[in-house]
Amino acid sequence: MLNLDKQKIFVLIPEEVMNELIQAIKDLKMLKETLEKGNNSDALGDYIPEEQAMELLDRGKTWFFNKRKSGELPGKKAAGRWYYKKEDIIKFIQNGRSI
């Protein structure tokens, strides 16, 4: 229900779209909480290791390799491990790119 100038407006959307929106909100809240926790011991600055990014996006190494290769999700490699900017992960989710 939207409230515009004290008028109540109801919007009908398909159930599957509503479920996707609810899941996206939950994912963003989880991501925010995870990143905020990471800020307490933020030795890597604006970067998170691939393992943490894999948990946030629920994807595997091959998926990340393909996204790096296509340029959709840039990463940096140091000491044999891949790292991603936190803001890139957030933008990736917010832009709604299919994962």
Q: What's the pLDDT tens digit per position in 45-81?
A: 788 999 999 988 888 999 999 999 999 899 998 888 8
Q: What is the pLDDT of residue 90?
A: 84
What sign results for the dihedral spanned by CA atoms 70, 75, 78, 82? negative
- pTM, to two decimals: 0.55
| pLDDT above 60 for 1 | no
What is the number of helices (H) and of strands (E) in the chain? Answer: 4, 5
Phi-psi region for residue 27, left (φ > 0), alpha (ψ -120 to 50) or beta? Answer: alpha
> How would you label 48-85 residue by residue, b for 16+ Cβ within 10 Å and e otherwise?
bebebbbebbebeeeebeebbeeeebebeeeeeebbbb
Q: What is the pLDDT of residue 62?
A: 95
Domain 14-94 carries which CATH code?
1.10.238
Q: Is 47 helix (H, G, I), strand (E, B) or coil?
A: strand
Tell me the per-residue pLDDT of 11-23, one tens digit each, with 9 for 90 and over.
899 999 998 888 8
What are the boundaries of each domain within the chain? 14-94
Query: pLDDT-derived band of residue 96, with 50, 70 and 90 as boundaries?
Result: low
Q: What is the pLDDT of residue 42?
A: 47
Rg (Cα) of the chain, in Å, rounded?
17
CA–CA dist 72, 1 (Å, integer): 35
| pLDDT above 60 for 91 | yes
